[in-house]
A and B are shown apart, each in its own frame.
Chain A
């Protein structure tokens, strides 16, 4: 009986260790520091960023906030709080970029957006959450063609650690039962 209890506790502990202790998310962008967006004076364009949640096994809620470049850029989605379910590879965040007509050729702006995990902190400890601050330069010059990004048709599911853990518990339970019968 003692051996079986130890086995049960050991298996549960093993499973808990296998399940990641934190979830996280990512932001994909077609523009970055070394790959600026080039637009002409007076030009307007939409840029789509992608939120994804491929790790941790839990759905997340992400809040977006412009922290720089609001003189030329705005988030045009009706709600800047985005549910990103586990396994989602493309939750779009749409920006509208408008370069003033009197902008000087060769000048540049910086668009900065922070994406923060909306998370309640519970329990008697110091909780940690994650945030991602993405930015890209907008250069005023001869306009380049819009970047066409291929988005996934269906979200790809990453490994579901919870199910893996439950299956392991079941297997260990079988082993324990057989050991007991012996």
Chain B
């Protein structure tokens, strides 16, 4: 009997012990969870500290909002054409920060044209300004579609750019001098006589690469008009034998003229370019002339273009 009571008490005591262990385990688990995840849980870190804040407000780059339309422009003979346009710019940090407005024209293969200091013409509002640029386009600048570049900067060194285009038209133009040719007095037997006041210098005063032709006319006598020096007796050349006579003059072996017909002069080119450059090629061409022989049946007198009119030097684009 005592053993059975003792066993029941032991089992009861054992059960209570197991329950205790279980409850303790649950409590421990709850405390552990709370310590790790709960508000103000045990982290091992400091509970408070000072935090420093450094906030930088960045500069807003200015913008070019609009460029005025630029109509197609005609070049001007032997000088420049002023091309004027305007553009609007904005700086959200304040219009007073806008600085350094510039304009530039670009075309691949060409020197750029620019205005490094466009002028402010209008205060639009507290953040926007209007500027005007004058840019010179020279007579020898290539025809075509040029890119317009308008740029604005601010006092912090940031900048904004906008692009537009305009057309620079073609100009076919030239000037030649002297506009007359003279020969020394000739004998009927003279051959290969060169003009004594050549070369004729022809300057390209436009922007078109060109070739040249000459339309010669017969020379008529100034006293006895029916007597003629035929145009076919003359040659025109782009080079000369220099101080020469007769067959040594290379200009006497070149293109023969024909009465009233345009004859393309061999190797005669009139490229566009700044003809003011001191050379023999840039934007210019030279013509030399030779009278091969005289018609033996004509009379002794002066012959000129007074009757039929001047010879014509024609420029045409290539």
Contact = CB atoms under 8 A, between A and B. Distances in A.
A135 B316 CA distance: 8
Interface string B198-238: 00100001101000000100010010000000000000000
Given A24-B176, A28-B171, A147-B72, A130 B305 contact: no
Contacts of B180: 21, 123, 125-128
A30 B143 CA distance: 9
B71 A149 contact: yes
Q: Taking each of A125, A147, A151, which has the highest tally of chain B beta carbons within 10 Å of its own beta carbon?
A: A125
Interface stretch (A5-13, A69-77, A113-121, A163-171): A113-121
B175 interface: yes
A128 B176 contact: yes
Contacts of B311: 126-129
Contacts of B172: 26-29, 132-134
Interface in B278-318: 289, 302, 304-306, 308-318
A96 interface: no
B315 A130 contact: yes
Interface stretch (B74-82, B91-99, B242-250): B74-82
A16 B244 CA distance: 29
Contact of B74 (A56, A117, A120, A151): A151
B49 interface: no
Contacts of A53: 77
Contacts of B200: 128
A102 interface: no
B314 A131 contact: yes
Interface residues of B, number: 51
B317 A32 contact: yes
B312 A131 contact: yes
A15 to B, nearest CB: 16
B219 A32 contact: no
A55 interface: yes
Interface string A21-57: 1111111111111110000000000000010111110
B41 interface: no
Interface residues of A, number: 51
A128 to B, nearest CB: 5
Contacts of A50: 74
Contacts, number: 184
Given A114-B314, A131-B315, A20 B304 contact: no
Interface string B80-106: 000000000000000000000000000
Given A54-B79, A129-B313, A22 B72 contact: no
A27 B181 contact: no
Interface in B41-92: 70-79
With a 10 A CB-CB cut-off, give which of B71, B144, B200, B208 has the most chain A CB atoms.
Answer: B208
A34 B76 CA distance: 20
Chain A interface main SS type:
strand
A26 B205 contact: yes
Contacts of B72: 30, 147-150
A142 to B, nearest CB: 18
Given A124-B304, A127-B310, A129-B310, A30 B167 contact: yes
A156 interface: yes
A121 B304 contact: yes
Contacts of B167: 30, 35, 147
B177 A22 contact: yes
B77 A55 contact: yes
A89 B79 CA distance: 12
A20 B270 CA distance: 20
Given A32-B208, A131-B314, 19 more contacts: A21-B180, A23-B175, A24-B175, A25-B77, A30-B72, A35-B170, A52-B76, A53-B77, A54-B79, A114-B314, A122-B306, A125-B305, A126-B219, A128-B179, A128-B181, A130-B174, A130-B314, A133-B172, A148-B71
Interface of B: 70-79, 143-144, 167, 169-182, 195, 200, 205-206, 208, 215, 219, 222, 289, 302, 304-306, 308-318
24 contacts: A22-B178, A24-B77, A24-B205, A27-B173, A28-B169, A30-B169, A32-B170, A34-B143, A35-B170, A50-B74, A52-B74, A53-B77, A125-B305, A126-B180, A126-B181, A127-B306, A127-B309, A128-B181, A128-B313, A129-B310, A130-B313, A134-B172, A147-B72, A147-B167
- Ordered nearest first, which 5 A-B pairs have the shortest CB separation? A26-B173, A127-B310, A22-B179, A24-B175, A150-B71
